[in-house]
Structure 1
């Protein structure tokens, strides 16, 4: 009998992804924060097909509905974590505005001319969840979780917003933030029941602009946090000290069996490496 080929979003393995055809379209954000220009930020579509006459050109600009969003990280509604679900497709980009807390749901069915599908207002998010300043977007099967860096008044540590597959607010994903001081990026490795989150600062601290003196006043992060992924709560913290000032982007190996991961400490200019040892204990260097 011929083996049925799964046709859900993403790839079944890192090797399959490496061997897949190269992308022909790229999306990136363009922002006006700090320029004095009162125009909406936009999502730029770039042709990256070497055989195209438009290779290397911006072929479309999708303006956001409002001004002052400061678009930041963005993520897909579906990815390889739901590869086996044939009812889902990688079609929608969730594009947060860190200053307004608006979430722009962008329909990329026409990949060369994406369009706004829906906007979840920052005011609605604040009212329902007491969260603000969205950052990292990850799909979690049919659900979506987004790290939020502050509460409704811009104070740390924030939390995690959960959306359903129709982009309706479910509520807060985490059961507890424990003693976490700040939020920023996160990544998970379900086969080890682990999520790792990093630290930036409270929105009230970073929104006015970076002040080096505030690092010494402990207003910026220097810790990463290990979570029990199933229980949705932090269980261990690594204090990185001077070696890990402002640990930002978090990544695990693409191999879902691997426990190894990394975070870039922006101010210390170091890469921090963590892993689970033979005794099942987590370590870092």
Structure 2
């Protein structure tokens, strides 16, 4: 099962692949009364490791009250045939702050670091949207569902982040918004 880009050529190949050795998840303080930054947890998922099933790293975000939400990769499994793509960054949205945190997972996967924060004020100014909810990577873009306009009012929309340069997180990006568009698809249940 040779791979030249991220992901796998088929769901069957993914099932046969080696298990993940680390997992990333978010931890939030929303509603707890605790005034600390939310953080990204790195969990050791290697049964042969002495730290198996333990949180081995916590990456705190720079602000308080983000309410981190559904994160996603900068590159998708559908990029399997594209050797220029790699899963190097997690995009971690803050639904309350409207910030999008870009986390470098390639330099040290067991201790990811914050690469960049795209401030909610910039997102609102460039897209007239707020409250990023879910990040999905596509073959060439990243789509982010946004829950509201810049004032936080309904309706929300999708924000499509298109790579212009060789790096999708270097700030040289084009933002496009789409309202009243539904994207859906089906696939056969067989593998």
TM-score of the aligned structures, taking structure 1 as reference length = 0.61
Q: Which runs of 4+ in 1 moved over 6 A?
A: none
- Displacement of 1:173 in angstroms is 3.8
1:54 aligns with 2:64: no
The gaps in structure 1 that reach 5 residues or longer are: 179-193, 197-251, 261-285
Which of 3, 16, 28 is 2:25 aligned to? 28
Aligned to 2:123, what secondary structure does the other structure show? helix
Q: What is the alpha-carbon distance in structure 2 between the residues aligned to residue 141 and residue 48 of structure 1?
A: 28
Q: What is the alpha-carbon distance in structure 1 between the residues aligned to residue 138 and residue 51 of structure 2?
A: 35
- Displacement of 1:134 in angstroms is 0.5
Question: Max radius of gyration: which structure?
Answer: 1
Q: What is the alpha-carbon distance in structure 2 between the residues aligned to residue 23 and residue 259 of structure 1?
A: 24
Aligned to 1:195, what secondary structure does the other structure show? coil
Residue in structure 2 matched with residue 98 of structure 1 by the alignment: 95
Quote the RMSD (CA, aligned, Å): 2.0
Report Cα offsets for 1:209-245 as digits up to 9, x if no partner: xxxxxxxxxxxxxxxxxxxxxxxxxxxxxxxxxxxxx
Greater RCO, CA 8 A, separation 6+ = 2
List aligned pairs for 1:180-199, cutoff 5 A. 195-196=183-184
Q: What is the alpha-carbon distance in structure 2 between the residues aligned to residue 173 and residue 139 of structure 1?
A: 16
Residue in structure 2 matched with residue 136 of structure 1 by the alignment: 134
Which of 37, 41, 49 is 2:38 aligned to? 41
Q: Is the 8 A contact 2:93 2:133 kept in 1?
A: yes
- Displacement of 1:77 in angstroms is 0.6
- Displacement of 1:259 in angstroms is 8.4
- Displacement of 1:146 in angstroms is 0.3
Q: What is the alpha-carbon distance in structure 2 between the residues aligned to residue 56 and residue 39 of structure 1?
A: 24
TM-score of the aligned structures, taking structure 2 as reference length = 0.89
- Aligned pair count reads 183
Q: What is the alpha-carbon distance in structure 1 between the residues aligned to residue 189 and residue 54 of structure 2?
A: 39
Residue in structure 2 matched with residue 177 of structure 1 by the alignment: 180
Aligned to 2:183, what secondary structure does the other structure show? strand
Residue in structure 1 matched with residue 5 of structure 2 by the alignment: 8
